[in-house]
Structure 1
Amino acid sequence: MIKVVAIVGPTAVGKSALGLKIAQKLNGEIISGDSMQIYRNLDIGTAKDSPEELRLVPHHLVDICNPDQRYTVKDFQKKARDIITKLDAENKLPLVVGGTGFYLSSLINNLNLGGKNSGSSVRPKLLAIEQNGGIEELQSVLKKLDPVAFDKIDIDNPRRVMRAIEVIKTTGASITSQNDGSKWADFYLVGLNDDRPKLYDRINRRVDKMVDMGLLDEAKYVYDHRDEFLQAKNGIGYKELFPYFAGQSDLNTCLFELKKNSRHFAKRQLTYFRNQMDVDWYNISEDTNYQTTIENKIVKFMGENSNE
């Protein structure tokens, strides 16, 4: 059976840095499991690896869409599976790195997400609900129809909320239970975490660094195209700065909101991975040798024969 390693955890904890080291040492290639790094020209706010880092090892599912293109979980699932199958045939380590939990769940659990036209008759009504009542109204609809999905998916993403509503309305089953029952690959999930005060400090410092790198210009680009960038405009790192560009708030207030939302997002990520997946967790402050330990466990995992 195909063996796949995934590195998960909250934002700013160091997933990308570990992924680069593991890929270099173990003949691996990185598959981004982040829902925002697919977009071209959105580099700072999405915390992509630097151009130098991207050249160190091959990266997949990074910079594959323009910001005005729609990209679904189903798109990720198919593309990632095709890449993993190809890498396995080449005797390379498929290494999924990212913090978008539902993306990874769709891959691991082989979720049946339906075809492109599934729920198409429902979508216009949901778009009208979003236009009139905003994301909060969509969330209310989902919570009433499918409380399980409400607790599991990224409810701050309106397109993901709409998709979950479409699935429950058209199939009668939750999008979180659309599993076809087959196991196509063996996954080893490595989770990075840190003591909460240290993690939150890392997040705050990352935001400050992003600002120094030019986040405001990138966010202004998204703001100026917000009617076209329907998915990208909802990304944390961009939407919090919109009131500043609109003259409705000062910059410090917006940056405070950005840091707060990033911390809340980290908390949601941890909750999702802890509750929904079997993850081998490492506290990066408590275990100074975690990188070596993880590398050795991956080597052992890749050498094991699956009885599935």
Structure 2
Amino acid sequence: MRPFVVIVGPTAVGKSALGLDLARAVRGEIISGDSVQVYRKLDIGSAKTPPGEREGVPHHLFDFLDPREPYSAAQFQEAASRLISEIQARDHVPILVGGTGLYVRSLLDPYRFSEKGSGAIRQKWLSFLAQEGKEALHRALAERDPLTAARLHVNDRVRVIRALEVFELTGRPLSGTRTASDKVYAPLAPNTIYIGLEAPREILYRRIDERCAEMIREGLVEETADLLHSGYSRELKPLQSLGYRHVLWYLRGLATLPEALRLMQRDTRHFAKRQFTWFRRDPRITWYDISRFSPNRILADVICTCRALETRVE
């Protein structure tokens, strides 16, 4: 059996570049583990690897959904599990690259997503939001699931509505449906290589600030405006993600472009901190500090592990 490689870490740390280099070295295929990169037309803000750089390396769960279509961790789990088997059957190496922690854990641990979505319930709470406002929506969640409400910001309307939806579907708070499985780190399959990239905070934050500024220079404002001109609502979940929601503030006159960039950089740094906290709890990850190990050294180590694993497994 061919190896299965998982590359995780906070945003802007270099996961995609390592995944591409590894794929070219070991006949790999990339599976995106990013909840925004699944959407077409959201290229710059989701930091998709440009098509020219992807040449020769198959990419999956990447750039295939219309922004209006919902996508869940349960859907990812089903699709990615199937892809891993198909890629290995081709005698290639599946390489999962991503920073969406729940997506990654859904493939490595015994996650069961029993709470299927309900369009009717979701629409009910969307109507409630439109009529009563985001503060009332957050209070409604606090009455039903105070732990989740305390964790979610009042502006995070997508996740607040999702938590309300889960409560109505299951009769249980979202905070109670994940707690047990979140604490279980199952032994890795013998062919799994699980690595994480990290960096000292000052280095990572500088990379994040530079990436955000580069996104603006590359045309994130124009990309977001084009989505609106094409008829996509600013309320869509993908357009509430990092970068896009900040540009929307600028386009609506709620912030100047420098202010929007500053807030984008700040919120992306906060997001990276949450990502690192999530992954750091997982004792199965082998970590590489990019300030101490060069990209070539990390790549060589992972290639060596792949080769040794192939020999041992076969």
- Establish whether TM, by shorter chain, passes 0.5: yes
When residues 168 and 195 of structure 1 are mapped into structure 2, their CA distance, relative to the original with a 3 A threshold, is same
Tell me whether 223-232 or 64-73 shows the greater mean CA deviation: 223-232
Which structure 2 residues correspond to residues 50-199 of structure 1 after superposition, within 5 A? 50-114=50-114, 116=116, 122-128=121-127, 130-131=129-130, 132-134=132-134, 137-138=137-138, 141=141, 145=145, 147=147, 158-169=157-168, 170=170, 172=172, 173-175=176-178, 177=180, 185=189, 187-199=192-204
2:210 counterpart residue number: 205
Which structure 2 residues correspond to residues 257-296 of structure 1 after superposition, within 5 A? 257-276=263-282, 278-288=284-294, 289-296=297-304
Q: Percent of aligned positions with the same letter in both sequences?
A: 35
Partners of 2:142 and 2:148 within 8 A in 1: no
Alpha-carbon distance, 1:53 to partner: 1.8
Q: Partners of 2:185 and 2:250 in 1: how far apart?
A: 48
Counterpart amino acid of 1:123?
R
TM-score computed with the length of structure 2 as normaliser: 0.84
Counterpart amino acid of 1:33?
G
Deviations 1:42-70 (A, max 9, x none): 11111001111222300001111011111
Alpha-carbon distance, 1:171 to partner: 5.8
5+ long unaligned stretches in structure 2: none
When residues 184 and 263 of structure 1 are mapped into structure 2, their CA distance, relative to the original with a 3 A threshold, is closer
Counterpart amino acid of 1:261?
D
The two structures, once aligned, show a CA RMSD in angstroms of 3.3
Alpha-carbon distance, 1:185 to partner: 5.0
Q: Partners of 1:154 and 1:10 in 2: how far apart?
A: 21
Partners of 1:143 and 1:150 within 8 A in 2: no
Tell me whether 212-221 or 121-130 shows the greater mean CA deviation: 121-130
Secondary structure of 2:286's partner? strand
When residues 26 and 218 of structure 1 are mapped into structure 2, their CA distance, relative to the original with a 3 A threshold, is same
Alpha-carbon distance, 1:73 to partner: 1.2
Alpha-carbon distance, 1:248 to partner: 2.2
Alpha-carbon distance, 1:159 to partner: 3.9
- The structure 1 residue matched to 2:243, chosen from 224, 231, 237, is 237
Q: Partners of 1:111 and 1:156 in 2: how far apart?
A: 28
